[in-house]
Chains A and B, each alone.
Chain A
Amino acid sequence: MRYRDIHPIIEKVRPYCLEAAGRLKRFPQWSLKTLSSLMTSVYILGALALLYMVGTIFPQGGDIGEYAKAGGKYVSFVRFFDLLDFFSSPVFLLSALLLLLNLVVCTYKRYGPLFAKRVFPNTFDPTHTFKLTHDYPEALPEVRRVLHEKLGFRLVSKDNEWIVMEKGLSCRWLTWLYHAGIVLCFFGLILSYLFAFEGEMTLKPRTPLIVAPSTTGRLASLYQKTAGPAGFSLYLDDFSTEYIQHPGLDYPKDKLSRLAIGLGWKGPEYSMKNDPMTPKDWRSRLRVIKGGSTVKEKTIEVNDPLRYGGYTFYQVGYEQTLRIRVDFNPIALETKADGDIIVPGLDTPLRFGTVMTGTLYRLDGAVEKILPFTTVKAVLTGPPGGKKTEDLGKLELGGSIIVDGRRVSLADYEESSVLSYRYDPGVAVLWWGGAFVLIAMCLRFYGRSYMVAYAVDESDRIVCLNLHIVSKGLMADTEKLAGRIGYYLTRDDIRPVPLPPL
């Protein structure tokens, strides 16, 4: 094929190619412009809000097999869009990434203008006018002195026919700062997403346990299965529980009886049936051991974790192992609290409840040590898929009860502390970002900032001060400011006389 043969085709295609090339060239600029627009933010935020809703309809973290077994609908659709782990799905992550891009571009594009010279107002349109009693040449510096010295305004520009002054923190800076804070929070979230991992460990008393996570962060999991030993161990010195006694309320469920109580015909009644006790707190006295010596000690409880080596250890619960002796058999049976155990010689399994031990805060204010005891139940065969139980009574430590002619005693018990741990380098970044967001947002929304443009005019020997006040923030009050300007000008012998608006 010769050139002259294909020339007409090239000529035909050429404009389209040029247009495509032009579009491609303009693409980065177009994307930047689109990503920095407020409208794009609205669209992305709207899409994200819808995606969040999707995530609340499907049980997150569920298994697709169990979902299908439980009668869940649209299984293939749920699997395709990863709706049971939606907040880690590509659809959601891409949308979140788009929001981050939008935020970063907006924040970047608005950084330069923070330092640009402000032009205000485009056309001078006074909102307040005062007649001054001073001579024209003296009035202008006097007004500026009052605004600067008495009211704390600073000069922005004096190049135009009007002078511009401002007061308060710059709204542009504050707005920029809380957007930048949100970007910082996003980076914290990304760090958490990529590097955080968590696990659980059960600490037995006086038995050191090496902290060796069985998982690792998402990024590290690409090349290794676990994060490896943390290089220190935890030692449980002591574990304690606290209970509080609280009465039960005898209160009707039907609406008419409730109305009767409201009308005073009946009264609600608190009662103390079966010594009701509810957990108040549980604590673990922990030691961090590194290289054979204790490097940190702390008593942790719910809401007060231990932090060491980038890890945070949380008190999540406890486990109890009960030693049960049947008759006088020297070998004790071991069972977990609230677990079922088959006792030789008995037809039905037994269930031993949590051993109540530790400190009890009584209703009347008294504090006492609980003599350890558990509850015993016989587990009967119930309806398919369920079990019925029959209360057999309380069993104190060292005490015994007779079940079907067998003596069952609580010989001993051991409490272990259940801790969860988390390694998350994103948390600190997130809190810093959050602090930025909140401080800047509160200052921007609740604070007050003013910008005043003014000109002193003289006509027929009448000297007038024309003011244009712009305010930002919920605490700002332009009328109050105008009043204060008037007051200070009066006090300084330039008597202002308010004129009707032009």
Chain B
Amino acid sequence: MLKSASMSSYDLILSRDSYLLGLELRLYWSVAFLYGLSLLFFISHAITRGDTAGKTGQTTLLVTVTAHIALIVLRTFEAGRAPFQTLYETLSWFACSSSLTYLYVSRRWRSVYLPATLVAGLSLGACLYALLSRSPAVEPLSPPLQSYWFEWHVILAFFSYAVFVVSAAIELTCLIIKPLLSRGAARGYGLTLDAIDGLHTTAYRLVLFGYPLLTFAIFSGAAWANEAWGRYWSWDPKETWSLITWTVFTIYLHSKAIPGLKGLPASLFNILGFVCMMMTFLGVNWLAKLLGIPSLHVYAV
């Protein structure tokens, strides 16, 4: 039988962990609130076309991301490992990395805030989903997850997701604003037709940046599966959807080199790639549950 540990030392550890988790949750809710606030400013900018609302939204987003980084550091300290194991943790990382990437990409833009609406909205959605539906418990790593391949796999996959989110946000903005600009009905957003071309190029360069990361994420996932389960590919729904995402972005990159497809069709492929990416990250869990398909990625469900 197990020796009974001295209750005082256990109580101390449990109350410390409970306190840290409580602190983390309060910070997480504050971060979600700030994402919501920045989203409101960006929506207000989209409606009023006021520069002040956009600037305030951008500043709020910057503060939010700073707080979110602190939250991730706190979680790392709490868990004693990189916080990418559960869906609760990856949702947090997804929200933070997307907004951080957006802030980096938009650092030289003047008075352009529209793409931030989607980014802030997604970040808020991810935070609320984690807070309201997932368990924040710090779980020990199960044996298959104790692999350096796993860490690389998740880190790179989420870096590529962040980049694709920002690329889709820019592409979507271009698609909505371009016809309005041609009719002269989109003044006040800091965009011109020339700037729209520049934004298309930025969206393309972001996919160029994210594509090798996604490729590496797929290969590292296969290498990990080969070490842990003895099979590098098992047509698991999540694996298959990651391949779909990769295929759609491959189509996007190829279509940029085809004169007949490099305009609107390429933009639509980029947005479709983003939709597939969201399906890989979240939708496939729902699909696997709905259809009762067993998945090796149950830890992420």
Contact = CB atoms under 8 A, between A and B. Distances in A.
A394 B28 CA distance: 41
A314 interface: yes
B215 A441 contact: yes
B272 to A, nearest CB: 9
Contact of B244 (A49, A370, A373, A441): A49
Nearest to B290: A57
Contacts of A87: 235
Contact of A264 (B22, B147, B205): B22
Contact of B291 (A57, A259, A360, A373): A57
A57 B212 CA distance: 28
Interface string B230-244: 111001010011011
Interface stretch (B61-69, B99-107, B180-188, B221-229): B221-229
A267 B2 contact: no
Interface in B138-152: 139-140, 142-144, 146-147, 149
Contacts of B250: 45
B257 to A, nearest CB: 6
A18 interface: no
B129 to A, nearest CB: 11
B111 interface: no
A198 B13 contact: no
- Could you say which interface size class chain A belongs to? 35 or more
Contact of B254 (A42, A314, A396, A427): A42
A441 B212 contact: yes
A434 B258 CA distance: 26
B293 A59 contact: yes
Interface residues of B, number: 71
Contact of B143 (A272, A301, A430): A301
A303 to B, nearest CB: 4
> Considering residues B5, B28, B131, which has the most beta carbons from chain A within 10 angstroms of its beta carbon?
B5
Interface string A356-396: 00001011101010110100000000000000000000101
Contact of B9 (A45, A248, A364, A446): A364
B10 A251 contact: no
B255 to A, nearest CB: 6
Given A55-B240, A59-B292, A264-B26, A303 B143 contact: yes
A427 B137 contact: no
B209 A474 contact: yes
Contact of B29 (A52, A53, A263, A445): A263
A322 B219 CA distance: 42
B1 A364 contact: no
B25 A363 contact: no
Nearest to A419: B230
Given A52-B247, A371-B1, A445-B208, A364 B29 contact: no
Contact of B230 (A52, A55, A258, A314): A314
B240 A275 contact: no
A255 B14 CA distance: 24
Contacts of B292: 59
A474 B208 contact: yes
B251 A39 contact: no
Interface stretch (A112-120, A165-173, A276-284, A458-466): A276-284
A48 interface: yes
A81 interface: no
A138 interface: no
A373 B1 contact: yes
Contacts of B1: 371, 373, 394, 396
Contact of A270 (B17, B132, B257): B17
11 contacts: A55-B235, A59-B294, A60-B235, A262-B29, A368-B2, A370-B2, A373-B1, A422-B230, A427-B232, A430-B222, A445-B208
What are the 4 A-B residue pairs with the smallest beta carbon separation, nearest first?
Answer: A262-B29, A249-B137, A302-B143, A314-B230
Given A42-B254, A278-B142, A279-B143, 16 more contacts: A41-B254, A42-B255, A49-B247, A52-B241, A52-B244, A52-B247, A56-B237, A59-B293, A59-B294, A87-B235, A244-B140, A303-B143, A314-B230, A368-B2, A434-B219, A445-B211
